[in-house]
Amino acid sequence: MFHPLVIRTTIHIEEKNEIRLPVIYTQNGVLKSYLDYSIYKRNKSMSWIDASARAVCLLVEFVEFNSTYFKYPADLFSAFSDKLFSGTINQNGEDPTGLRWRKRSIQNGNKIISYVTQYSDWLCDHKELNNKDNLNPWREATSHEERLNWAAYSHKHKNAFLAHTWSKKTAQDRNKSSRNVRYQQDHRANDNNSALNRFPDEYIDDLIHKGFVKPGVLATAPAYTRLELRDILITMLLHFGGLRRSEPFHLWLEDIELHPENSNEALVLVYEPEIGQSPVSYTNGRIEVREETLAKNFQLLPRNKYEKSKKVYAGWKNNKLSPSKKNYMVVNWFEPSAGEQFLFYWRLYLSKQRVSPHKNRKHPYAFTNQFGDPYSIDAFERKYKKAIERVGLVFEKDLGTTPHGHRYAYINRLEKAGVGNLFVANAVHHKSIKSQDSYKSLSPKEIRSEFKCLESKTKRILELRSAYE
């Protein structure tokens, strides 16, 4: 039996306009309807497009390996969604379908259902089909489902900036309906203790000054010959600037400058990779976005628009940007003295270690590899892992020792400093003040310490009471 494949292919949309998109190949050739859909959705992020293609490919695979006759598309999709969560392998290890699917997590299964539902909705609109032809059609909600719909609506309404513009009549009509296949509810307690995911602050100095060292170089050698300054700078942006792992890789040389309020501190501006305003040095004084400048001056795409498999790829979240029309976010140093240390190492890196781009491979990015090409996230993570191990730590998410653990640590330090949620949200460029809640929790060690304090207070209260009796 032929397994359908997702292969990224160059698509010619019109003359002199081409784009690389995932194409689903079946035993009957290209799935044309999905190709049309991916072209329609081509302005979505690459990660969204790839995930959508993989989800629809799973559906195609299920259809091709399943001999059961389904009278309606909704019956097919219902069976497909069941197998996502239950798997196709029975208790005896047998699988009559040949798919060999394992059980998927509720989160992963719900995402697949969402991607396929969106594709089916588009297909029905595009071909002017009826609701009954939809894989996941609308139907009348049960009373329980309607209550769940209103609960979800209330949560969204409460946290939406433009909630006052929402139509109550539209909400009433929508909440009386339900998809035939709904997302599964995860009633388990959230066991993802974010406190375990944050980098241990007491090791940051060792990581910077003892982890990122060049092998074989004497400890007495100057910093610029002994230390891997590029990797130190990126780590400082993560730990003291709270950036996500991918964000330093979007920095251009001109994005790091002297702070206007303190000439000893670095001002780092991380521009949105597509619509961020370009430095005028590249545009002859014109106002131009970075996607345009990269195309005209360097024949490059923004790093978030490449395939994930490419070394140059760097992701980008939908961050809150500054009020400026230039579309950037400011790195907020905490502690502020880190901005001065960063500037010191940045100057050393520029003068002693940075490899300039090759004349035939020019680019504007701040961090480069040994050939002068844009430094990749994978290369940084390899260096970072070795640095972690040099200081006696184990590279593991649950220990907070992966690059993303520094963002958890940054938010935790702000929380301990006593600042409010609004301040934290602005510091880490979250659009919602609730976004950072997933980064906050107490570790077992901290909980134990709190209980010891409570025990001591209780003992003192009891002692005082017995003294007065």
The pLDDT tens digits of the residues spanning 334-376 come to: 988 999 999 999 999 999 999 999 999 999 999 999 999 999 9
Cα separation, 162 vs 145, in Å, equals 25
Strand order in the sheet with 29-30: 5-14, 17-26, 29-30
Strand order in the sheet with 256-259: 256-259, 262-271, 328-330
- Indicate the pLDDT class of residue 189, thresholds 50, 70 and 90: very low
Tally of CB atoms within 10 A around 96: 11
Between these two residues, 215 and 156, which has the higher pLDDT value?
A: 215
In this predicted structure, which of 60-74, 220-234, 368-382, 454-468 has the lowest mean pLDDT? 454-468
Residues constituting the chain:
469
Helices vs strands, H then E, count in the chain: 15, 8
Residues 302/45, Cβ–Cβ less than 8 Å: no
For the chain, the average pLDDT equals 88
Q: Mean pLDDT throughout 412-422?
A: 87
pLDDT digits (tens, 9 = 90+) for 5-21: 998 888 887 766 788 89
In this predicted structure, which of 71-75, 170-174, 218-222, 437-441 has the lowest mean pLDDT? 437-441
**CATH 1.10.443.10, the chain: domain bounds:** 195-439
Helix 229-239 / helix 377-390 crossing angle, nearest 10 deg:
90
Residues 386/319, Cβ–Cβ less than 8 Å: no
Query: Which residues, including other chains, have CB under 8 Å from residue 385's CB and lie 6 or more apart?
Result: 395
Between these two residues, 190 and 372, which has the higher pLDDT value?
A: 372
Query: Which residues, including other chains, have CB under 8 Å from residue 130's CB and lie 6 or more apart?
Result: 124
Local structure of 413: helix, strand or coil: helix
- SS3 of 83-108: the string is HHHHCCCCCCCCCCCCCCCCCCCHHH
Between these two residues, 351 and 164, which has the higher pLDDT value?
A: 351
- Indicate the pLDDT class of residue 37, thresholds 50, 70 and 90: very high
- SS3 of 41-79: the string is CCCCCHHHHHHHHHHHHHHHHHHHHCCCCCCCHHHHHHH
pTM of the complete model: 0.74
In this predicted structure, which of 140-154, 219-233, 240-254, 385-399 has the lowest mean pLDDT? 140-154
pLDDT digits (tens, 9 = 90+) for 379-393: 999 999 999 999 999
pLDDT digits (tens, 9 = 90+) for 429-443: 888 766 666 565 555
What are the strands, taking DSSP E only, across 320-449?
A: 328-330
- The DSSP result for 231-255, as a single string, is HHHHHHHHHTT---TTGGGG-BGGG
The answer to whether residue 187 scores a pLDDT higher than 60 is: no
In this predicted structure, which of 87-91, 255-259, 299-303 has the lowest mean pLDDT? 87-91
Which residue type does 177 have? S
- Indicate the pLDDT class of residue 190, thresholds 50, 70 and 90: very low
The answer to whether residue 163 scores a pLDDT higher than 90 is: no
The answer to whether residue 467 scores a pLDDT higher than 80 is: no
Owner of token pair 């513009």: 165
Cα separation, 206 vs 186, in Å, equals 40
Largest CA distance in the chain: 94
Between these two residues, 469 and 70, which has the higher pLDDT value?
A: 70
Query: Which residues, including other chains, have CB under 8 Å from residue 393's CB and lie 6 or more apart?
Result: 200, 203, 399, 401
Q: Mean pLDDT throughout 69-95?
A: 90
What are the strands, taking DSSP E only, across 194-292?
A: 256-259, 262-271
Spatial CA neighbour of 354 closest among 369, 364, 342, 340: 369
How far out from the chain centre does Cα 304 lie? Answer: 11
Each residue of 55-66: b (16+ CB within 10 Å) or e?
A: bbbbbbbbebbb
H runs (alpha helix) in 240-353 = 290-293, 337-348
Cα separation, 302 vs 281, in Å, equals 18
The answer to whether residue 109 scores a pLDDT higher than 70 is: yes
The answer to whether residue 66 scores a pLDDT higher than 80 is: yes
Tally of CB atoms within 10 A around 116: 22
Q: Mean pLDDT throughout 222-246?
A: 96
The answer to whether residue 452 scores a pLDDT higher than 90 is: no
The answer to whether residue 191 scores a pLDDT higher than 50 is: no
The tokens describing 458, both together, are 């209780």
> 195-439 domain in CATH 3.50.50.60?
no
